């Protein structure tokens, strides 16, 4: 196996006053090679500059069925990376030729529409956090017989983490938990849960039998924005910010990957890092971050029927484990329901989602919330869902896809809830 020592350049003046501009950045699909450690190459190619940090950002890693990296290349490194890959005989294709143009074309047009009528909350738009929180407050107030808004945790910067409970009041009901935006740049995940929340209540008001039954049987707890600090930062400074905003160490680096910060055995395995500047930095210890520790304490008080954490992108329906190759004793049931869920997705708009264990379909990884919920909280139906798309737009999914993505996810999550209602006590 070829081992490459790539110079780590640290020329840093950490001033984050300006919004990060991705003009000239490109997203490449790079074909993996068995004899080249491309993970090491991409991790090492980092150049710190005024206003932030230029680096080769791995958006998606290769799979057995698709041995391709999706990587974002800064404009100033394109020539260097091109020469490096050619030297290694590694092939690639350019999929997004200017990341900033994609960001600006879609997000800015949506903001113009919002400014023309700011009182209307559109579910086919992406929204800033204050708009989301304002809508949640109004939604809970107007639908107080079904919806309550409450705090489930707090952030490093002192903000409240707010969730909604949706359901017909009564007894000690089981909970269908759904969360999103633990990774700040995955905007489609939060937009999907906002649409779903509205849809549940609207269908109940319209006496739709399926939803009415599910709201009587379960409480649906929806956490649309888990990583509040990071999400706000993704709007104000850096659209592609992933982590929390914790001060973590030298070089001015910030943030922990909150989905590496839960307790699982085999800490540090697979796609996680002890390097504080890494996009997958796991933190000093499990639950070292207020976002993961506070919400996990709340989760531990619930009677959970299902735990579903929503991400983007890839079009996957995932289940434990990620930290080990051994299957869960519930693997067959998890797989059976996942197959039904992806079939429901396909029936909605024809999109193909793959299902499987995290370690098989995505990658080996420790510290994830889905494994933690399944193993530590004994939640049988614990899933991670990677929404659209498969790489054409990546994390910058245009707003025209919000509603179709939400619609197909809604059909899938109802499959999970119906299965539990029929088969689990």
Can you give the CATH number for the domain in which 408 is found? 3.40.630.10
Same domain, 141 and 35: no
Let me know if residue 183 belongs to a domain. yes
Let me know if residue 92 belongs to a domain. yes
Question: In the structure encoding, which two tokens stand for residue 281, read together?
Answer: 């930095």
Of 60, 76, 97, which residue constitutes the final position of a domain? 97
pLDDT of residue 10: 36
Same domain, 121 and 254: yes
Tell me which residue of 204, 70, 48, 224 sits closest to 133, measured CA to CA.
224
Same domain, 183 and 65: no
Which range marks the domain in which residue 168 is found? Answer: 107-423
Whole-number Å distance between alpha carbons of 164 and 223: 7
Collapse the DSSP code of 42 into the 3-class scheme (helix H, G, I; strand E, B; otherwise coil) and give the result: helix
> Is 30 in contact with 41 (CB distance < 8 Å)?
no
Collapse the DSSP code of 162 into the 3-class scheme (helix H, G, I; strand E, B; otherwise coil) and give the result: strand
Let me know if residue 17 belongs to a domain. no
Same domain, 184 and 331: yes
Same domain, 49 and 175: no
> Is 69 in contact with 391 (CB distance < 8 Å)?
no
Q: In angstroms, how far is the first alpha carbon of the chain from the final one? A: 52
Tell me which residue of 172, 156, 175 sits closest to 164, measured CA to CA.
175
Question: In the structure encoding, which two tokens stand for residue 302, read together?
Answer: 């619930």
> Is 51 in contact with 15 (CB distance < 8 Å)?
yes
Whole-number Å distance between alpha carbons of 284 and 342: 36
Same domain, 299 and 195: yes
- Looking at residue 55, which CATH number applies to its domain? 3.30.70
Q: Looking at the chain, how many residues does it have?
A: 425
Same domain, 65 and 155: no
Same domain, 220 and 334: yes
Whole-number Å distance between alpha carbons of 131 and 137: 10
R_g of the chain, CA atoms, integer Å? 21
Whole-number Å distance between alpha carbons of 128 and 224: 12
Whole-number Å distance between alpha carbons of 17 and 15: 6
Whole-number Å distance between alpha carbons of 375 and 391: 31
Phi, psi (deg, nearest 5) at residue 318:
-110, 150
DSSP letter string, 232-278:
HHHHHT-TT--S---B-SGGG-B---GGG-S--SSTT-BS-BS-TTS
Whole-number Å distance between alpha carbons of 338 and 328: 14
pLDDT of residue 272: 87
Work out the number of other CB atoms within 10 angstroms of the CB of residue 130. 10
Let me know if residue 195 belongs to a domain. yes
Query: Could you give the number of structural domains in the chain?
Result: 2
State the Cα torsion 344-219-297-234 to the nearest 10°. Answer: 60
Whole-number Å distance between alpha carbons of 52 and 168: 48
Residue 352 falls in the annotated catalytic set: no
Let me know if residue 267 belongs to a domain. yes
Phi, psi (deg, nearest 5) at residue 145:
-75, -15
Same domain, 90 and 115: no
Same domain, 116 and 229: yes
Let me know if residue 83 belongs to a domain. yes
Q: Which residues contact 331 (CB under 8 A, 6 or more apart)?
A: 319, 357
pLDDT of residue 6: 34
**DSSP character at residue 325:** S
Same domain, 206 and 70: no
Work out the number of other CB atoms within 10 angstroms of the CB of residue 251. 15
Let me know if residue 13 belongs to a domain. no
Question: Which residue reads 């990957």 in tokens?
Answer: 257
Whole-number Å distance between alpha carbons of 63 and 57: 17
Collapse the DSSP code of 133 into the 3-class scheme (helix H, G, I; strand E, B; otherwise coil) and give the result: helix
Same domain, 63 and 153: no
Let me know if residue 19 belongs to a domain. no
Select which of 186, 289, 386, 408 is catalytic.
386
pLDDT tens digits, the chain, 425 residues: what are they? Answer: 333 333 333 333 344 558 899 999 999 999 988 767 887 788 777 654 434 457 789 999 888 778 899 999 999 899 989 999 998 999 999 999 999 999 998 766 665 665 656 778 999 999 999 999 999 999 999 999 999 999 999 999 999 999 999 999 988 899 999 999 999 999 999 999 999 999 999 999 999 999 999 999 999 999 999 999 999 999 999 999 999 999 987 777 899 999 999 999 988 888 888 888 888 999 999 999 999 999 999 999 999 999 999 999 999 999 999 999 999 999 999 999 999 999 999 999 999 999 999 999 988 999 999 999 999 999 999 999 999 999 999 999 999 999 999 999 999 999 999 999 998 76
């Amino acid at each position: 196996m070829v081992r490459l020592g790539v110079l780590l350049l640290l020329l840093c003046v950490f001033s984050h006053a300006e919004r990060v501009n991705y003009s000239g950045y490109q997203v490449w699909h790079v074909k993996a090679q068995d004899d080249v450690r491309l993970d090491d190459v991409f991790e090492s190619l980092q150049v710190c500059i005024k206003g932030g940090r230029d680096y080769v950002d791995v958006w998606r890693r290769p799979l057995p069925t698709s041995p391709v990296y999706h990587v974002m290349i800064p404009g100033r490194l394109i020539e260097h990376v091109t020469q490096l890959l050619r030297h290694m005989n590694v092939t690639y294709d350019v999929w997004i030729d200017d990341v900033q143009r994609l960001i600006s074309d879609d997000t800015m047009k949506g903001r113009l529409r919002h400014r023309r009528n700011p009182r209307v909350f559109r579910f086919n738009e992406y929204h800033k956090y204050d708009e989301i929180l304002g809508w949640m407050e109004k939604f809970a107030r107007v639908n107080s017989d079904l919806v309550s808004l409450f705090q489930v945790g707090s952030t490093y910067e002192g903000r409240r983490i707010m969730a909604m409970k949706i359901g017909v009041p009564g007894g000690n009901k089981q909970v269908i938990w759904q969360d999103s935006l633990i990774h700040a740049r995955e905007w489609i995940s939060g937009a999907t849960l906002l649409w779903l929340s509205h849809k549940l209540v609207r269908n109940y008001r319209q006496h739709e039998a399926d939803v009415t039954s599910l709201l009587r049987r379960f409480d649906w707890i929806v956490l649309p924005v888990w990583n509040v600090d990071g999400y706000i930062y993704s709007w104000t400074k850096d659209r592609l910010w992933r982590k929390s905003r914790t001060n973590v160490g030298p070089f001015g680096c910030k943030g922990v990957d909150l989905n590496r910060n839960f307790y699982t055995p085999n800490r540090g395995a697979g796609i996680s890092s002890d390097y504080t500047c890494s996009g997958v930095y796991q933190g000093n210890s499990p639950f070292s971050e207020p976002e993961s520790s506070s919400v996990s304490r709340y989760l531990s008080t619930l009677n959970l029927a299902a735990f579903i954490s929503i991400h983007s992108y890839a079009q996957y329906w995932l289940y434990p484990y990620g930290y080990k190759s051994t299957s869960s004793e519930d693997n067959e049931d998890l797989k059976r329901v996942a197959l039904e869920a992806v079939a429901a997705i396909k029936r909605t708009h024809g999109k193909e989602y793959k299902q499987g264990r995290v370690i098989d379909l995505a990658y080996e990884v420790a510290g994830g919330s889905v494994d933690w919920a399944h193993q530590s909280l004994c939640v049988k139906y614990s899933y991670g869902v990677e929404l659209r798309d498969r790489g054409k737009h990546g994390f910058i999914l245009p707003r025209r896809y919000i509603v179709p993505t939400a619609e197909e996810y809604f059909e899938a999550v109802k499959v999970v809830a119906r299965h539990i209602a029929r088969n689990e006590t």
